[in-house]
Structure 1
Amino acid sequence: MPTGSCDGSGSAVTDMVVAPEEGSAHVVSPAIADDDRVFQEYLSNEPSNRNRRMIRSHPTMGDSMPEARPILFNIVPKRGQREAESRLLAQSHLKGLEELVAPYQQDLVDLFFSKVNICFPVFDEFMFQRVFTASKDSMSPSLLCYVYGNAMTYWKSSERLMTVPAPEQRSAWLHAEDALNAEWKSTPGISMILSIILNLCGRPSSHYLGNGVLLGMAVALANSAGLNRDPSPWNLSPYEKRFRIRIWWLLVIYDVWSSWAYGTPHRIRRSHYDVPTPTTEDIVGPSASNEHTAGASCFVSLIALTQVLVHGLEHVYHLSGGGPNTEEVCSDLDSLLVIWEDSLPDDLRRPIIRGIRLSGHGTANLRLAYLSVKLLICRVQLDWDNSVCRDDISSRHYVQARRVCEDIVDFVQELDEASIGGFWLPPTAHSLTSATTFLMRTALRSRGSMRNPSLKFARTMVDTLASYRRLYDFDIADNCLSNCGDLIDKVELACNTMDPALADWELSLLEGIDFTALHETVHY
């Protein structure tokens, strides 16, 4: 099986797994050995000893095009003493975190794979567990730190850990960040990209500016590593091709959804990559359990939904002239979303479209992401259609946007404990804020009417999220509660008071929450 290596050098399995004085080496099958070598190279923070790596493209059968030029990667040289010092420093932070969670390191790794990786597949579980057990020292310290840190979010859901007092998660994140900073000063590689992705997965998420900086670093590293190119025709092993494709799409997901949440343009443009979207079979093998297959299917659907969102964001952030007609954009977005809905597998269609039986791993997160895209489309229609007066709350586009916001409130109300404690993509939390502020905006414009359902929905959202935060430590509620928790009281006062003297105050309040770009959320 070709591996893409020009020569036989590199990290041999026996050298990486077992030191001579620690025991006898055992031969493994060529297929596993090849995958193992690739996996360890990607998870290690040690640069390869090779100076260059050449990758050639193999033409497909019947392809009359000339053979593509080979792709040559240069290996960035080590930085001498600074390299060694940085690695030792990163190892020390990993040691500090492991002392914090000892003796439950393996439990946390298992928890990470059962809660996060099953529907947001950063790693191949078999390979990770194998390397973690046999040669953990070869793995990136920051990568392990972030695996532990992410798993600690689900500490109380583990039957083995629920009776053990949970260590302070903030200390774990500090160790992980320090390890990442130390590794960045050495020679960053693909393991650094994975560490940053896991950093962005971390909950609670609050450092939006810092997350944006890290995301920019990850995108730059990914482009320099050629992850933005389709590896299908390259002379790499099938395992390495699948791994590269998966890493790229994990990064695209975070880039796009962070753009949606934080109100900043996404960094990855569709014209800058040609990586194919993975299939469920690319992520899990034919012998995978139904649970793992369902989680992989949910991830593939999230990738497809992210591609719909990209089209909407490109319109939102388009500043120069000559852009497409807004009416055409709205029609295209509606069509793309319908196509996505029709592409959902049978086991996901009812949970995602109708919100019924959100029991599978990642399904609640995907349902919220779906409603978020629907809300964005409504906002594009509402904010950019010059034929509609946005003060007219009875307009078709305004009513459509309000209905989606009400659907988001209903979705939150109907969550069960298992869904609340499941996987959530942190940026999607901003849709809760967006829906609530839009409902408050509508409530203020409906002031004086006998019935004000938007006000009731907004209050229900805030009260429900506050209850989830108190009962289940649901940090996804934090952004909405911090931005809308006090504001809802003022809006209720304004709506329930008929004093005309409040008119000026109402207008100033509207100016504070009526954001017209992407959605009404407060960015830090």
Structure 2
Amino acid sequence: MNTSTDATPIGSRPYRSHKVPACDLCRNRKIRCNIDVAGEPCRFCRERHLSCEYTSKATVDDGLRPPPAKRRRTHADDHDVATPVKSTERGLAQFPSIAGTSPEESSIMLNPPMAEDIEVLEHYLSSASGASSGKPYRLVSSSTEKPIIYLTVPRRRKGLSAASDPGKTQREIIEQILGPNKEDVVALYFDRIHPAFPIVDAKTFYEMWHRDPSEISSALLCDIYTTAVVFWNTSERLRQYSKPDFVFLWNQAVAALQEDFLGPTISTVHASLLDLVGRPVLSITGNIMTLGKTVTLAHSLGLHRDPTSWKATSHEKDIRIRLWWGVYIHDTWSSLAHGTPPLIHAQTHDVPLPQASSLSASGATDAHKRSAQTFLHLCQLSTVLGDLLPFVYSLKPDKVELDRSLRRVECKLDDWESSLPPWLRRSNGELDLVNGASSLHFCFLSVKLLLKRIAYRVSIWVLRFSFHPRSFAEQATSMQADGVAAEARPYHLAMLRQSALELTDYVCFLKEPQLDDFWLPYTAHLLVSTTTILLRCLLESADVTTKRDCATMLVRVQARLECARAESNWDLVDFCLERCSEPVAKIATAMGITRHPTAGGMPTTELASVFNDTDTSMLSTLPEDFLLSVDSLDYPFDTLWDISF
């Protein structure tokens, strides 16, 4: 890279620029502040070996701040930080369109080949002409192998009027409903949701909240308010008041987010991730659409690239890393739950895992630090799930390599489980009360179930698509292979059934404190898929005892979910109760199983006194479509979980 002071590389300060202020020495001397090398002191200070400092506030790319109105001095300008900031520490703040603080401009990342070409052309043209103003490109990483260059584009559609603070009206409505309790709701968010899903920088948020809450993005604040309402009754202060209508609050938050998407910035990604993690789930199709826009926006902002070598502050890098992993978690688990192929692929992102030390504030409690660890392990588990999803959605799978690939993924899952700290492992069937730990273990069992499900599908492929031999030797080989495949199918079905029983048994032992913890909203869909698999395993099994065990567990888990809904108001069970109660009841009736709830709310089951092969024949009289009514948009599990073939 040419570092000559005569050159004017990408990112230089335009002449008399107001967006990029002059340093203190140049401003005092009233001379031109020529930043001819991006990320370095100005030319005047560098040649004299002086400290190039700025007393004006450097806006940090924290994603919390709404963009300032056009040609207006924002309220934040009245709170300038007096601490000098060196030019090498200003990070992305020197590029307002990248940092998301420009009212009229935005930036999109160029594809790698284009970035390489632009870097060469810019160096040549800048060296030849010496011009430095009006450049549409911004270099944030000058790596010779992977230069990162952003292109400045208009932030909003031409001719479309948009609010300077999207979501302000909805924010005022929500704050009017919450009244004096809004600070308690914010505290509830940072106590119940943020530790297990730390995508918002708590320190920056509270600094802006105490200084001037209007500095915070309205769309983001709407989602913070609304996501915390589901935990209303867990707060001693808030439970004294009536719980607001969460449907109305969510409609306001969604409207604010859609308004923010008209001129998106990095704060839009924050708000979208909270919108997707919110409960209860009111619109599956809406969430799928929001995720698609969020993933695309994250890619255009360059969140999918490793920022560790960028000319940015450590704070900016940490935020970008956490944001990307929040996007990745939603993409993988939404794909599993909603039946849509993942939008993110392993070959197209290189963001490292978050550092454990960056996930919690300096004054965080031990409980919050442990909860933040669950987020880190969830990121790792999501990568294992990401390796499995291609086997689910590939239309032309390599059936020869499938079995070997599945074994590799199974080893990764075992390694993940072995890496868990003791307080995140189940001992004697119990988990420590760490916020987010119960959801993490449920996700682990769901990935394990998916792995067994795919293995069972592969065993059927081997049996169905065995080649047709021509010679006597080929015929003998084919008969031997068919025999192995025929034995493999019952084995994999048994492993699938055992995995489903393990997951449902775990759900039955969840206590109220665990139900009140942070849970991914995709749990609601995974409960349905687990019950569906167990129903299928019951019908596919030829053993009477196995049928009885499956039916007993189905009745038991349905009763436990009903108790969780009635006593703990656990909204994640609604889908499962709505879709699976009828088929489970029909199975129980056909097999003579009755349920007797105990005083503690944990159900017990009693089998009919006589249970023989004649009784199992009753199952064949059930209608073919008695299991579930499948909607291709609302409940597309027929492709993901179908084991009838």
TM-score using structure 1 length: 0.86
2:527 is equivalent to residue 482 of structure 1: no
SS in 1 for 2:238: coil
Asked if 2 retains the 8 angstrom alpha-carbon contact of 1:315 and 1:329, the reply is no
Task: Give the AA of the match of 2:458.
Answer: W
Q: Is the 8 A contact 1:330 1:377 kept in 2?
A: yes
The Cα shift of 1:297 comes to 1.2
Which letter does structure 1 place at the counterpart of 2:561?
L
1:86 shift after superposition: 3.2
Aligned residue in 1 for 2:114: none
When structure 1 is superposed on structure 2, of 410-419 and 268-277 the one drifting more is 410-419
Aligned equivalent of 1:209:
285
Quick check: 130-139 or 194-203, which moved more?
130-139
Residues 75 and 108 (structure 1), Cα distance of their counterparts in 2 relative to 1, 3 Å cut? farther
2:448 counterpart of 1:371: no
Paired residues of 1:119 and 1:299 also in contact (CA < 8 A)? yes
C-alpha displacement at 1:243, in angstroms?
A: 0.6
**Residue aligning to 1:9:** 20
Q: 2:149 aligns with which of 65, 68, 71?
A: 71
The higher relative CO (CA closer than 8 Å, separation ≥ 6) is in: 1
Distance 1:394 1:495 in 2: 25
Q: Tell me, in whole angstroms, the C-alpha distance in 1 between the residues paired with 2:158 and 2:257.
A: 19
Question: Which has the larger displacement, 127-136 or 245-254?
Answer: 127-136
Q: 2:378·2:440 contact (CA, 8 Å) conserved in 1?
A: yes
Counterpart amino acid of residue 289 in structure 1:
T
Cα distance, 1:470 vs structure 2: 1.0
Residue of 136, 141, 144 corresponding to 1:57: 141
Could you tell me how far 1:446 is from its partner in structure 2?
5.1
After TM superposition, give the deviation of residue 227 of structure 1 in Å: 0.7
Decide whether the 8 Å contact of 1:434 with 1:520 is kept in 2.
no
From the superposition, tell whether residues 355 and 429 of structure 1 become closer, same or farther in structure 2 (CA, over 3 Å).
farther
Report the Cα distance in structure 1 between the residues aligned to 2:486 and 2:284, rounded to whole angstroms.
32
- CA distance in structure 2 between the partners assigned to 1:503 and 1:58 by the alignment: 68
1:27 counterpart (64, 82, 96)? 82
Q: CA deviation at 1:77?
A: 4.0
Partner of 1:401: 496
Moved more, 145-154 or 482-491: 482-491
In 1, distance between residues paired with 2:625 and 2:146? 61
For residues 36 and 330 of structure 1, the distance between their equivalents in structure 2, rounded to whole angstroms, comes to: 42
Q: Per-residue CA shift, 1:311-370, capped at 9, x if unaligned?
A: 11111111125466221122112111111112222332346xx75224101000001000
Superimposed CA distance per residue, residues 380-408 of structure 1 (whole angstroms, 9 cap, x where no aligned partner): 11122135799999922222222222222
Distance in 2 (alpha carbons) for counterparts of 1:382 and 1:448: 18
Distance 1:174 1:6, change over 3 A: farther
Q: Per-residue displacement from partner, 1:95-127 (whole Å, max 9, x unpaired)?
A: 111111111111111100100110110111111
**Shift of residue 138 of structure 1?**
2.5
Pair 1:166-2:262 in alignment:
no
- SS for the counterpart of 2:150 is strand
Report the residue type matching 1:306 in the other structure.
S
Deviations 1:288-307 (A, max 9, x none): 43222212211110000001
Asked if structure 2 preserves the Cα contact closer than 8 Å seen for 1:372 and 1:428, the reply is: no
CA RMSD of aligned residues (A): 3.5
Letter in 1 for 2:283: H
Of all paired residues, the percent bearing the same amino acid is 28
Query: Is there any run of 5+ residues in structure 2 with no aligned partner, and where?
Result: 1-9, 14-18, 22-55, 60-72, 107-133, 465-484, 593-613, 631-635
Shift of 1:233: 0.8
Aligned residue in 2 for 1:326? 402
Give the Å deviation of 1:190.
Answer: 1.2
Deviation (angstroms), 1:147? 0.4
Match of 2:551 in 1: 455
Corresponding position of 2:505: 410
Match of 1:509 among 622, 626, 633: 626
Residues 174, 125 of structure 1: alpha-carbon distance in 2 compared, 3 angstrom cutoff: same
Distance in 2 (alpha carbons) for counterparts of 1:270 and 1:487: 39
Mapping of residues 205-284 of structure 1, within 5 Å: 205-284=281-360
1:429 pairs with one of 516, 520, 524: 524
Aligned counterparts, 1:283-294, within 5 A: 283-284=359-360, 288-294=364-370
Offset of 1:151 from its aligned partner? 0.5
Give the 5 Å matches for 1:118-129.
118-129=195-206
Q: 1:516 to 1:320 in 2, by over 3 A?
A: same
The residue number in structure 1 matching 2:38 is none
Contact 2:501 2:553 in 1 (8 A): yes
Q: Deviations over 1:26-53 (max 9, x none)?
A: 635759x969979x99997863779857
Aligned to 2:109: none
Change (3 A) 1:89 1:117: closer
Among residues 100, 111, 123, which one is paired with 2:188 in the alignment?
111
Q: Which consecutive residues of structure 1, in runs of 5 or more, have no partner in the other structure?
A: 60-65
Shift of residue 444 of structure 1? 3.3
1:151–1:107: structure 2 CA closer, same or farther, 3 Å change rule?
Answer: same
Amino acid in the other structure paired with 2:154: V
Query: What letter corresponds to residue 57 of structure 1 in structure 2?
Result: S
Q: Are 2:565 and 1:469 aligned?
A: yes
Which residue number corresponds to residue 265 of structure 2? 189
The 2-side partners of 1:200 and 1:380 are apart by: 27
Q: Following TM superposition, by how much is the alpha carbon of 1:439 offset from its aligned partner in structure 2, in angstroms? A: 1.9
Q: 1:45–1:171: structure 2 CA closer, same or farther, 3 Å change rule?
A: farther
| Cα separation, partners in 2 of 1:439 and 1:29, compared to 1, 3 Å | farther
Are 1:148 and 2:225 an aligned pair?
Answer: yes
Given residue 190 of structure 2, which amino acid in structure 1 is its aligned partner?
Answer: F
Provide the C-alpha distance between the structure 2 equivalents of 1:480 and 1:392, rounded to a whole number of angstroms.
33
Looking at structure 2, the residues matched to 360 and 42 of structure 1 have their Cα atoms a distance apart, in angstroms, of 37
Matched residue type, 2:641: H
Q: Does 1:442 align with 2:537?
A: yes
Paired AA for residue 47 in structure 1: P
In the alignment, which of 163, 183, 195 is matched to residue 86 of structure 1? Answer: 163
Give the structure 1 partner of residue 35 of structure 2: none
User: Could you tell me which residue of structure 1 aligns to residue 103 of structure 2?
Assistant: 47
TM superposition shift of 1:172: 0.6
Residue type at the aligned position of 2:211: A
CA contact (8 A) 1:57 1:235 kept: yes
Distance 1:54 1:13, change over 3 A: closer
More helix by share: 1
- 1:519 counterpart letter in structure 2: W
Alpha-carbon shift at residue 235 of structure 1 (Å): 0.6
Return the offset for 1:256.
0.2
Distance in 1, matches of 2:369 and 2:308, equals 23
